[in-house]
């Protein structure tokens, strides 16, 4: 059952990432600029981010299975429309549908983990879920490039839609909301209940700390994997298309390979979780500085180190969900998880849109392609987001520790707060 849920999440990651290698094809098919191309991904991410809290509320109300099934159907409908239209406006609407379905997958996975696994295994299973779902990103790199060249736009995207329908059947047959119950329904969602639930979840320092942790670790890999990595490697760093696809694949492999290690470190040294996150911010920002300041084109070995470190930051984002889980009771867990998950995607859509806008403002070669200097300027916008996130994490972790010290020993989860600061 967990495997089916992760498969649905992986399919959502595929849909999210497919334009990273289809960007050139999309530019030709819809006759659009870089900013318009970025708007496909930004719109999908915006829908994803905006819906995280509503999806969390719906999961708390209707259970994971039903929400996940509706999400898969929405993704398939969106991909069918995206495959068949050649209108830019209709293609944007199709990406909205894909974003709606994609928004349901991860929150449902985490809620199922909380329902089916013992507490001591939840951090490790959470760490494994994120990276394993990113296998869909690998399928959106080299295999999707091959499919687009071999079978064309329409047949490639129609095939993806068909896979979504097959996964929906598996969800319908296999997924149960909790042991012994096929569906789990919560309280009715009145306006007062929604307002109270969201206010209580956000009031928890652990929820806000989780938000900024996810914000800080997610956006650089998303920016590369979803849209700008392929053109950056090919047009700024002079790699071949095959090498660019391989680098994006290495980044996702790094996510999967590092996740068990991060899960072990988090379980073994819970008091050092925020230290791991801040160290990750420093490592990723430092490597980006080296690559962007490298005279001429950066060597492939340096680009490989970059994508490995950027990819390794992905599992660090999962630490944010641990803080939210520890700070919130089960009946509003999915809502809190949605808030945390919103952080990374708000950061991602911001940086993707800003990079596209700065590229359009930057210099171009005689043939109209963006120069390395334009990419350097555009990608430097990442440092602003890292600086803001690091300050917030530092401030909130101090507050989190102060709250833990003030709590009496009889308060709920005092040990968890102290251990996970």
Query: Do 413 and 236 form a contact (C-beta atoms < 8 A)?
Result: no
Query: Do 11 and 106 form a contact (C-beta atoms < 8 A)?
Result: no
Q: What is the DSSP letter of 296?
A: S
Q: Examine the pLDDT at 256 and tell me if it is beyond 90.
A: no
Q: Count CB-CB contacts under 10 A for residue 381.
A: 16
Lowest mean pLDDT among 112-116, 184-188, 243-247, 261-265: 184-188
Q: Examine the pLDDT at 414 and tell me if it is beyond 50.
A: no
Query: Do 212 and 393 form a contact (C-beta atoms < 8 A)?
Result: yes
Name the phi and psi angles at 408, rounded to 5.
-70, 160
Containing 259, the helix (H) or strand (E) segment is helix 241-268
Angle at 53 between CA 51 and CA 56, to 5 degrees: 105
Please give the pLDDT value at position 420.
45
Instruction: Measure Cα distances from 269 to 261, 274, 309, 421 in Å.
Output: 12, 11, 21, 10
Q: Using pLDDT thresholds of 50, 70 and 90, give the confidence band for residue 415.
A: very low
Q: Structurally, how many domains does the chain consist of? A: 1
- Strand, helix or coil for residue 181: strand
Please give the pLDDT value at position 412.
41
Q: Count CB-CB contacts under 10 A for residue 347.
A: 27
Containing 295, the helix (H) or strand (E) segment is none
In a domain, 183, yes or no: no
Q: Report the alpha-carbon distance of residue 230 to residue 251 in Å, rounded.
A: 12
Query: Do 239 and 298 form a contact (C-beta atoms < 8 A)?
Result: no
* Section 129-152 average pLDDT: 74
Residue 173 burial class via C-beta count within 10 angstroms: exposed 0-12, middle 13-18, buried 19 and up:
exposed
Q: Using pLDDT thresholds of 50, 70 and 90, give the confidence band for residue 410.
A: very low
Query: Do 170 and 11 form a contact (C-beta atoms < 8 A)?
Result: no
Please give the pLDDT value at position 230.
85
Please give the pLDDT value at position 418.
41
In a domain, 42, yes or no: yes
Q: Range of 408's domain?
A: 2-178+188-419
Q: Which of 125, 157, 119, 116 is nearest to 9 (CA)?
A: 125
> Percentage of residues in the chain with pLDDT exceeding 90?
15
* Section 310-329 average pLDDT: 84
- Could you tell me the CATH number of the domain that includes residue 125? 1.20.1250.20
Instruction: Measure Cα distances from 403 to 38, 69, 199, 202, 378 in Å.
Output: 42, 40, 18, 15, 40
Residues paired with residue 364 on neighbouring β-strands, in sequence order:
370
Q: Examine the pLDDT at 390 and tell me if it is beyond 90.
A: yes
Q: Which of 174, 218, 222 is nearest to 64 (CA)?
A: 174
| Average pLDDT of the chain, as a whole number | 81
Q: Examine the pLDDT at 24 and tell me if it is beyond 90.
A: no
Q: Report the alpha-carbon distance of residue 151 to residue 147 in Å, rounded.
A: 5
Q: Count CB-CB contacts under 10 A for residue 355.
A: 26
Q: Which of 149, 73, 151, 63 is nearest to 112 (CA)?
A: 63
Alpha helices in 175-240 (DSSP H): 191-203, 205-223, 229-231
In a domain, 249, yes or no: yes
């Amino acid at each position: 059952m967990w495997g089916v849920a992760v498969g649905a999440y992986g399919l959502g990651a595929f849909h999210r990432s497919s334009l990273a290698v289809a960007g050139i094809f999309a530019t030709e098919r819809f006759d659009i600029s870089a900013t318009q191309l970025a708007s496909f991904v930004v719109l999908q991410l915006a829908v994803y981010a905006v819906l995280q809290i509503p999806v969390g509320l719906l999961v708390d109300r209707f259970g994971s299975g039903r929400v996940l099934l509706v999400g898969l159907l929405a993704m398939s409908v969106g991909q069918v429309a995206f495959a068949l239209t050649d209108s830019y406006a209709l293609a944007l609407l199709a990406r909205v549908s894909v974003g709606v379905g994609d928004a349901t997958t991860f929150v449902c996975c985490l809620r199922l983990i909380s329902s089916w696994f013992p507490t001591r295994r939840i951090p490790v299973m959470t760490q494994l879920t994120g990276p394993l779902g990113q296998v869909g990103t690998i399928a959106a790199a080299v295999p999707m490039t091959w499919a687009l060249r071999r079978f064309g736009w329409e047949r490639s995207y129609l095939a993806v839609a068909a896979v979504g329908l097959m996964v929906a059947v598996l969800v319908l047959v296999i997924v149960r909301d909790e042991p012994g119950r096929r569906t789990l329904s919560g309280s009715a969602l009145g306006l007062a209940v929604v307002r109270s639930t969201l206010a209580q979840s956000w009031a928890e320092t652990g929820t806000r700390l989780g938000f900024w942790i996810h914000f800080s670790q997610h956006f650089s890999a998303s920016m590369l994997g979803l849209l700008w990595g392929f053109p950056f490697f090919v047009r700024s760093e002079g790699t071949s298309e095959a090498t660019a696809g391989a680098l994006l694949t290495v980044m996702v492999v790094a996510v999967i390979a590092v996740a068990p290690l991060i899960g072990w470190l988090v379980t073994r040294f819970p008091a050092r979780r925020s230290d791991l996150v801040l160290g990750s911010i420093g490592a990723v920002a430092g490597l980006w500085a080296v690559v962007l300041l490298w005279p001429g084109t950066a060597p492939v070995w340096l680009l490989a180190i970059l994508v490995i470190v950027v990819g390794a930051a992905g599992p660090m984002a999962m630490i944010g969900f641990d803080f939210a889980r520890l700070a919130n009771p089960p009946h509003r867990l999915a809502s809190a998880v949605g808030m945390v998950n919103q952080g990374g995607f708000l950061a991602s859509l911001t940086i993707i849109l800003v990079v596209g806008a700065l590229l359009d403002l930057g210099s171009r070669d005689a043939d109209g392609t963006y120069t390395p200097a334009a990419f350097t300027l555009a990608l430097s916008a990442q440092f602003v987001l890292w600086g803001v996130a690091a300050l917030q994490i530092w401030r909130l972790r101090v507050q989190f520790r102060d709250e833990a010290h003030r709590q009496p020993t009889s308060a709920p989860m005092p040990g968890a707060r102290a251990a996970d600061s």
